[in-house]
Structure 1
Amino acid sequence: MSRRFEHVWSWMREAALACIIACALVMYAKVDDVRAQDGSRRVLHVDSYHAGNQWNDGIFAALQETLSGKAVELRVFHMDAKRRPSAGDIDTSAQEAVRAIDEFKPDVVTISDDPAAKYLVMPYLRDAAVPVVFCGLNWDASIYGLPYRNTTGMVEVSPIPQILKLLRRHARGPRLGFLAEDTEVKRKELAYHERLFGISYDKTYFVSSHADWKEAFLSAQKEVDMLMILGVGAVPDWDLADASRLAEERSEIPSGTDFEWLTSVSLIGVVKSPEEQGRWVGQATLRILDGVQPSDIPLSYNREGELFFNDRIARRLGIKDFPPLARAVP
């Protein structure tokens, strides 16, 4: 059942007004706004990551479905920023994306996640002729100067306070840990948890391999009383089956996540919907193709969520109460 992240939404709605700042009107004429010769419209989706990244694949599938049957030619460009995370590699990918835009000449460019905003949109497409619709920018788009005259988008927020509230019901103490892939985006998320919600993490574990993840998970069982598990997409040898076995056999503290595919290693999941973001981007794109200016479409924030409960880990922790409205982890 869908649940709304009401107080996060309320905060972000107010923040949206402050986010709209006066931008220097510097044109980066990298793209010609030319319609396809056959009369169809063209959309290029720039994915910050790689095909096979579960979250972004969900965004693109929903975008593709929303645009289907609308006389729109849709292509995707993958920047591969999780597997090639250096600033130099991402900048090279951004330049390749610019060439793809020049060649394809899309009517609209859509993007997902922070690397595409930071390395492509901000330096090359700011206030350009081609409209840009973004999603997946965590917590705050204004750090990239967004929105520009030619942009709109959906900022991604997570139900961290809701997860923490559920974890505290089963925790032996107040100490909180943060376990995630070692990426710039996850470090940004950590900073915003502290800034927006006053959450203080007693231990942080940033990992780059599956072995590191297992070691950090086991250390957390002794060092903190609750654990946030928030992303492994950049871990190249991630083994979900092995991690799930470890969590089921060795969990001693409650853990929580905001990703559905990590509910098998967590007691509780309050998960976001990538499809919500893909649908929103697709609908905004169709409005722009019909003549609406991006600047006339207000920034939005994701609101859909679903509660998951892992009964196998619950039994390990001696927890017998199944939360109301929760979906069982398969």
Structure 2
Amino acid sequence: MWRAALVRILVCALAVLPATEGAQAQEASKKVLHIDSYHAGNEWNDRIVAALRETLTGKDIELRVFHMDTKRRPSDSDIRASALEAKRIIDEFKPDVITTSDDPAAQHLVQPYMRDSSIPVVFCGLNWDASTYGLPFRNTTGMVEVSPIPQIVRLLRKHARGPKLGFLSEDTQVKRKELAYHERLFGITYDKTYFVRTHAAWKEAFLQAQKEVDMLMILGVGALPDWNLADATRLAEEKSEIPSGTDFEWLTAVSLIGVVKSPQEQGRWVGQATLRILEGVQPSDIPLSYNREGELFFNDRIARKLGIKDFPPLARAVR
């Protein structure tokens, strides 16, 4: 009888062990919270998140994403509310590492709430200069985003009828910051700037630029709520009179030349830095980095409209 009782005890003990081990494994898994400054559907940031997720896949890490949505909700009160909601999620989720993309998260969340916190922070997509927000802090590291603006301008000048340069972009604080850094770092002077908030305004500014400047830099459109790439592409192919350039792959359809950055590079770097931190490396021991990957695009349809016949060596054709 005692043997039967002992068998029952052993069976019960063995039945409990897998559940206990599973619970311990679940407790041992790490948690990462990614704070995206913008909204789901913003292509640049979506590619960052995809690369981050791929880098962390198979590492027993739970990744959550919070979108601050600051392009579509740009008022001070909305951004402040979004930052506070992000802070609430941090307090509730208790991540082992926080990752962020773009300036608003750095400015409105990391700078006021995460400075020298016990939670490590890895940022990316922060344009030109991290010191603008006091970064890096003791608990932070990141990849600063720079753009190949001088290279684009140099390529445009080969096809321009004169020296006047225009700047066409969504009307956001980040793009105005970029404009200032183009002037400060590279000595680039824009003869005309066109900041727009709707697709119709973008089209009007594009047409206006064809008459007012000799070459045009075309940058972000993610804040335009009604942006229509197909319509913009038709306009650019039919009405372009001057060479245009961009540093975004998804705007090469409306530009003659693109020297484009890689959001995947930034997502991978953030993921790799996160893994190092989870292994015990201090953020302060990981130096700040700058994006380096790029690719040259050439839009043959716009080139034909401008009478340009030479396809640049090593360029990728815009489809």
Same fold, judged at TM 0.5 (above): yes
Partner of 1:320: 309
Cα distance between partner residues in 1 of 2:76 and 2:286: 31
- The one-letter code sitting in structure 1 at the alignment partner of 2:38 is Y
Cα distance between partner residues in 2 of 1:87 and 1:305: 34
Normalising by structure 2, we get a TM-score of 0.92
Partner of 1:38: 27
Cα offset for 1:86?
Answer: 1.0
Cα distance between partner residues in 2 of 1:45 and 1:108: 9
- Specify the SS of the correspondent of 2:27: coil
CA 1:249 to 1:313, structure 2 compared with 1: closer, same or farther past 3 Å? same
Residues 110 and 132, structure 1, Cα contact 8 Å, conserved in 2: yes
Cα distance between partner residues in 2 of 1:237 and 1:296: 44
Partner of 1:223: 212
**Count of residues paired in the alignment:** 296
Alignment of 1:12-161 (within 5 A): 38-161=27-150
- The one-letter code sitting in structure 2 at the alignment partner of 1:38 is E
> Does 2:166 match 1:177?
yes
Partner of 1:272: 261
Cα offset for 1:37?
Answer: 5.6
Deviations 1:180-215 (A, max 9, x none): 000000000000000000000000000000000000
The equivalent position to 2:228 in structure 1, one of 212, 228, 239, is 239
Partner of 2:201: 212
Cα offset for 1:80?
Answer: 0.2
Cα offset for 1:38?
Answer: 1.9
- The one-letter code sitting in structure 2 at the alignment partner of 1:47 is D
Query: More deviation in 37-46 or 130-139?
Result: 37-46
Partner of 2:273: 284
Cα offset for 1:175?
Answer: 0.1
Deviations 1:163-193 (A, max 9, x none): 0000000000000000000000000000000
CA 1:98 to 1:156, structure 2 compared with 1: closer, same or farther past 3 Å? same
- The one-letter code sitting in structure 1 at the alignment partner of 2:189 is S
Cα offset for 1:36?
Answer: 9.0
- Pairwise CA RMSD: 0.9
Cα distance between partner residues in 1 of 2:76 and 2:174: 13
Q: Which has the higher contact order (CA 8 A, sep 6+)?
A: 1
- Specify the SS of the correspondent of 1:170: coil
Cα distance between partner residues in 1 of 2:313 and 2:190: 28
Cα distance between partner residues in 2 of 1:276 and 1:189: 20
Residues 36 and 42, structure 1, Cα contact 8 Å, conserved in 2: no
Gaps of 5+ in 2: 1-23
Partner of 1:255: 244
Deviations 1:49-108 (A, max 9, x none): 000000000000000000000110000000000000111111100000000001100000
Partner of 1:15: none
Q: Percent of aligned positions with the same letter in both sequences?
A: 82
Cα distance between partner residues in 2 of 1:36 and 1:165: 55
Normalising by structure 1, we get a TM-score of 0.89
- Specify the SS of the correspondent of 1:186: helix
Cα offset for 1:292?
Answer: 0.1
Alignment of 1:296-315 (within 5 A): 296-315=285-304
Gaps of 5+ in 1: 1-34
Cα offset for 1:235?
Answer: 0.4
Cα distance between partner residues in 1 of 2:180 and 2:254: 24
Cα distance between partner residues in 1 of 2:49 and 2:105: 14
Cα distance between partner residues in 1 of 2:166 and 2:132: 26
